[in-house]
Amino acid sequence: MLASLMPLAHGQETQRDNAANMTASPQWQKILSDARGETVYFYAWGGSKPVNDYLRWAAKEIASRYKVRLRHVKVADISEAVSRLKAESGKQSAIDLLWINGENFSFLKQQELLLGNLWSSIPNSAMLAVQALSLQNDFGVPIDGFEVPWGVGQFNMIANPNIFNLNIAGKVNDSKITPTIILKAAQQYPNRISYPRPPEFHGTTFLKQLLVGLSHNDKRLFEYATPEAQAKLLPLLWDYLDQLHPLIWQQGRAFPSSNTEQLSLLQQNKLDMAVSFNPNQLIKEQQEKRLPPSAQRFHFAQGAITNSHNLAIPKGAQSPAGAKVVINFLLSEDAQKQKLNGSWGDPTVITPLLDPASTLPSQQELHSSWQQVIEEQWQQKYGA
Amino acid sequence: MFGIIVGLWPSVAISWRDLIEFFTYNGIATSVLSTLFVSLTAPLVALYISFMVYSQYRFNPRWQALEKRLAPLLSLPHLAVALGLVYLFSSGGLLWSSLWGIFGATAPQWLGLPHKSLVTLLLAMSIKEVPFFLLIFSALGRQLPIKSWLLQGRALGYREITSWWLLVFPVLLKHSRLALLAAMAYTLSVLDIALLVGPNIPELYAVVLYNWQTGFTVDEQALAFVGNLVLIVMLSILIAGIYTHEWWAVRNLRHHAIRRTSLKIIRVSRLFSHWLGLFSLLTLSILITFLIWSLGWNNQQNMLSTTPIDWSFGLWRDEWFFMRGPLLNSLYIALVSSIVGVLTTLLALELQRQAKRYLPDYIWLMAILLPQLSMVYGWQISHTALNGSYHTGWVVISHLPFTFAYSYLVLRGPFQSLDRHYELVAASFGCSYWQQFWKVRLMLLRPAMLSALAIAFSVSVAQYIPTLMIGAGRVSTITTEAVAIASGNEQSITAVYMLVQASLPFVAFFVASVVSQRLRGSFDVSHQ
């Protein structure tokens, strides 16, 4: 038992040492001194009070520790920041730091609008839990040092307990669910289930999870979506949805526009379930008394699709040193601990704080080509 | 102007294939048609309701009460009205569940507004636009000799209500073209409300277009360009709709006037004599809803249960510290841009009067009519190309086209329909041209100018895209904060920000109505 823990503990110490060594290096000391007095404009989604509160805390800490001023520029949709970077086309930018992942990252990386070598220049990125979590790729696109993981999302569902705790074939289920359970629940409780309308990111992920479940984890989902593979696998999903949609909220003639809207419908007791990428969301909502204590968290039996959300610096940033200092702080043990234990509850990405017990079993993300295929065909079949 | 071209210009080459892809996009026809339907119907419904209310209240002591009570609903953001409506009246909403709750039963599912549908959107938009049209009518009404038309109508043997429809309505309709157009253009392109209460199978056109505009693939960029063109075509259809409706309405009324048949709509009109009460109740319930949300109440706490609800001012206390800066920015930007907007409008109108040539309205209203996202994106490109700093001044400049357009639409009618007689009298006293302008024209226009200022002020406060894109986060206003926060659908904090956001226009509309009533005391007496 002890022996098996040893390598982990050992790895942890080396990662900490590496970070400490890098911190002491003259390069980093120069960045720290360059950063003094700078203001960092951080473009990040502003729709979550816990995240906003966390960034207010971080801004206070960063100001007192490094004399760097962190300004959270709240946006309703991060695509607004991406469109600004496009308009500036690599010249001097109004953005110093941004919170992105997925196709936003893939676009900016491909357009060469991001500053590179972040992992090698920011000391605390040495502590990233690259062994335990898949942090090297962002939706199938190699990160290559153009962004730094900040937190982890794991796809899960929050639901009223009665709905999924069905006694199927004599076996009482735990928190794992399958497409079949969802369909049975929809039959028993019509109008109470829904999912965000794709191409909303959470809605598409819900479909991906269903597809993994329905195809019993077919390995072709993790390779390029060839026409043959599509013809073989996608009908599983569409047949299933054909059965499900007449039973869900508004008979599938309308869907929540986002996961947050779905959550508020759950809070208002108009739905019995919501989807989330934050595995700790349920606990946090219950602490705030916005969901009843009886609500439960569920995840798909094959595992929760897991991906990271990240921080990147535009090439034209006016305070790149300050931005690096901010990233370094946000990856520090203090900041990651506060993020996990505070009102946000976002899981950590650094090895020293990693707690295997609290993470959901993870499911590999599908090959990125499936995303567009699923979204387009969904639109074609159910979008009108 | 340059920005408009830059922003609308396609960043990719457009081929036939893109056009085909656009028109074969699943559900595009329904999207376009239902969007056109709502954009045309909601403002017209609002206009008719406003006219019926106006005719019931205008020469009535209750008019002043109405003018004052318009302020709260005028200042609530559209999104807040939609949120409140759905929360209160949707199936399973607060109203039905508490009504049934009293008897310990659950309200039936079919009862109430659907959460997301064309009807819900139509209702939200028309309710919200009614006070806007009432404000426009009241600005117009002070310039038009409605009283004497009604007297003439009586001399011809019409009942007063018939005279309103036959004599006043056609004129008000003609002068409200711009306001109608603005309301239609807004409904056409509104995004947040479409997302929240609009149908999404298929999605409304604004949402489809937004998804393309924010997409990155070459295909999406091409679709977005075609989409913007289609949006402009849709606008021209709406403009044609305004003229067709006007032609149809006037022809119908004339028909009735000649044949002396009774107007069916008169019977409907009477219903609206109780409008003020209902309207105040609705506004009040929306406000109370937001207030209790902001104090931390949510559906987990039952009003009827015995456990005490933990009300808390904590959210207000926490956020107030962070709201003061944005609030002051909003106030400053809105003050400057609304005053400059109204002054430029007066200048534009006066120059046109001197030239005896009025340019087509759509030129002046360009800022309202063109797709905002693309247009401001163009400004952003120009702004960064000029290496412009991110100063409040730039944000004010970016608001000017909007404050100008709205004050133009409020002021044009009153400015043109002003009785020339007074200026002739002034001229006979030896007043110079400019003395006539300052001492007579502007004085007579004061009430309309106040309405224009209040509307321009609230328009400036409501700007999200220009503020964010030109201010670059250096200039945050209460609206940039509120819109970002509302995107998270957390009801308590959204409520706090929306109430604060509404407070600024509220003060503006309230002050405008009080001051204009004071002004009326000084000279309106003799004209009523």
Instruction: Mark yes or no for CB contact A261/B216 under 8 Å.
Output: no
CB-based burial, A205-237: b 16+ in 10 Å, e otherwise = bbbbbbbbbbbeeeebbeeebeeebbeebbebb
Instruction: Mark yes or no for CB contact A250/B116 under 8 Å.
Output: yes
CA angle at residue B223 from B237 to A97, to 5 degrees?
115
B 379-398 residues with CB < 8 A to A: 380-381, 384, 387, 390
Comparing A101-110, A217-226, A244-253, B373-382, which segment has the lowest mean pLDDT?
B373-382
B 140-199 residues with CB < 8 A to A: 195-196, 199
Is residue B3 pLDDT above 60, yes or no? Answer: no
Instruction: Mark yes or no for CB contact B487/A382 under 8 Å.
Output: no
Cα–Cα distance for residue pair A293/A276, rounded to 1 Å: 17
**Whole-Å CA distances, A125 to A19, B145, B188, B392:** 7, 75, 47, 37
For chain B, give the number of residues: 528
**CATH number of the structural domain A2-146+309-354:** 3.40.190.10
What is residue B28's predicted lDDT score, i.e. its pLDDT? 92
pLDDT tens, position by position, A168-206: 444 444 688 899 999 999 999 999 999 999 989 999 999
Structure tokens at B383: 């702004």
Q: How many other C-beta atoms lie within 10 A of the C-beta of residue A251?
A: 12
A 133-172 residues with CB < 8 A to B: none
- Tell me which chain B residue has its CA closest to the CA of residue A252: B201
Cα–Cα distance for residue pair B468/B483, rounded to 1 Å: 11
Please report residues of B whose CB lies closer than 8 A to that of A84: 380, 469, 472
Q: How confident is the model at residue B112 (pLDDT cuts 50, 70, 90)?
A: confident
- Domain chopping of chain A, boundaries: 2-146+309-354, 156-303+364-382
What is residue B6's predicted lDDT score, i.e. its pLDDT? 63
Is residue B58 pLDDT above 70, yes or no? Answer: yes
The gap between the terminal CA atoms of chain B, to the nearest Å, is 44
What is residue A5's predicted lDDT score, i.e. its pLDDT? 44
Structure tokens at B264: 């069916």
The mean pLDDT of chain B is: 86
Instruction: Mark yes or no for CB contact A49/B493 under 8 Å.
Output: yes
Averaged over B73-78, what is the pLDDT?
Answer: 86
What is residue A169's predicted lDDT score, i.e. its pLDDT? 44
Angle between helices B491-523 and B78-89 (to 10 degrees): 120
Instruction: Mark yes or no for CB contact B474/A199 under 8 Å.
Output: no
User: Any CB–CB contact under 8 A between B261 and chain A?
Assistant: no
Is residue B302 pLDDT above 60, yes or no? Answer: no
B 14-53 residues with CB < 8 A to A: 25-27, 30-31
Q: How many other C-beta atoms lie within 10 A of the C-beta of residue B310?
A: 11
A 229-288 residues with CB < 8 A to B: 250, 252-255, 257-258, 260-261, 263-265, 267-270
Q: How confident is the model at residue B526 (pLDDT cuts 50, 70, 90)?
A: very low
Instruction: Mark yes or no for CB contact A384/B322 under 8 Å.
Output: no
* Amino acid code (one letter) for A92: Q
What is residue B440's predicted lDDT score, i.e. its pLDDT? 85
Number of H helices, E strands in chain B: 27, 0
Averaged over B431-452, what is the pLDDT?
Answer: 86
Cα–Cα distance for residue pair A364/B99, rounded to 1 Å: 49
The DSSP string of A151-217 is: EEEE-EEEE-HHHH--EETTEE--SEE-HHHHHHHHHHSTTS---PPTTSHHHHHHHHHHHHHHTTS
Averaged over A1-18, what is the pLDDT?
Answer: 63
Please check whether residue B502 is in contact with residue B64, taking contact to mean a CB–CB distance below 8 angstroms.
no
Give the torsion through C-alpha atoms of B199, B202, B205, B208, to 10 deg: 110
Looking at the partner chain, which of B214, B299, B301 has a beta carbon nearest the beta carbon of A83?
B214
Averaged over B283-299, what is the pLDDT?
Answer: 87
What is residue A4's predicted lDDT score, i.e. its pLDDT? 43
Please check whether residue B298 is in contact with residue A267, taking contact to mean a CB–CB distance below 8 angstroms.
yes
What is residue B444's predicted lDDT score, i.e. its pLDDT? 85
Cβ neighbours of residue B315 closer than 8 Å, sequence gap 6 or more: B294, B295, B296, B492, B493, B496
Is residue B277 pLDDT above 90, yes or no? Answer: no
pLDDT tens, position by position, B490-525: 888 999 999 999 999 999 988 888 887 777 654 443
* Inter-chain CB pairs, A–B, below 8 Å: 143
Phi-psi region of B499 (alpha: psi -120 to 50; beta: other; left: phi over 0): alpha
Looking at the partner chain, which of A255, A292, A380 has a beta carbon nearest the beta carbon of B300?
A292
ipTM of the complex: 0.89
Among A55, A191, A200, A250, the strongest candidate for a mutation testing the B interface, having the largest count of B CBs within 10 A, is: A250
Averaged over A208-236, what is the pLDDT?
Answer: 95
pLDDT tens, position by position, B451-497: 899 999 999 999 998 999 899 989 999 999 999 999 998 888 999 99
pLDDT tens, position by position, A260-303: 999 999 998 889 999 999 999 999 999 888 898 888 999 999 99
What is residue A10's predicted lDDT score, i.e. its pLDDT? 60
**CATH architecture of the domain formed by A156-303+364-382:** 3-Layer(aba) Sandwich (3.40)
User: Any CB–CB contact under 8 A between A80 and chain B?
Assistant: yes
- Domain chopping of chain B, boundaries: 2-527
Question: Pick the residue with more confidence: B330 or B419?
Answer: B330
Question: Pick the residue with more confidence: A305 or B257?
Answer: A305
Kindly report the three-state secondary structure assignment for every residue of A82-134.
HHHHHHHCCCCCCCCEEEECHHHHHHHHHCCCECCCHHHHCHHHHHECCCCCC
A 288-347 residues with CB < 8 A to B: 289-292
What is residue B332's predicted lDDT score, i.e. its pLDDT? 95
What is residue A341's predicted lDDT score, i.e. its pLDDT? 92
| Shortest Cα distance, chain B CAs vs residue A351, angstroms | 30
Coil, helix or strand for A307? strand
Question: Domain B2-527 is in which class?
Answer: mainly alpha
Q: What is the DSSP pairing of strand A362-363 with strand A304-312?
A: parallel
Instruction: Mark yes or no for CB contact A250/B387 under 8 Å.
Output: no
Please report residues of B whose CB lies closer than 8 A to that of A45: 484, 487-488
Structure tokens at A76: 């309703």
Q: Which residues pair with A148 in a beta bridge?
A: A311
A156-303+364-382 matches A2-146+309-354 in CATH topology: yes
Cα–Cα distance for residue pair B316/B333, rounded to 1 Å: 24
Among B303, B474, B490, B493, the strongest candidate for a mutation testing the A interface, having the largest count of A CBs within 10 A, is: B490
Coil, helix or strand for A223? coil
User: Any CB–CB contact under 8 A between A90 and chain B?
Assistant: no
- In angstroms and rounded to an integer, the radius of gyration of the C-alpha atoms of chain A is 22
What is residue A59's predicted lDDT score, i.e. its pLDDT? 97
DSSP assigned state of A343? S
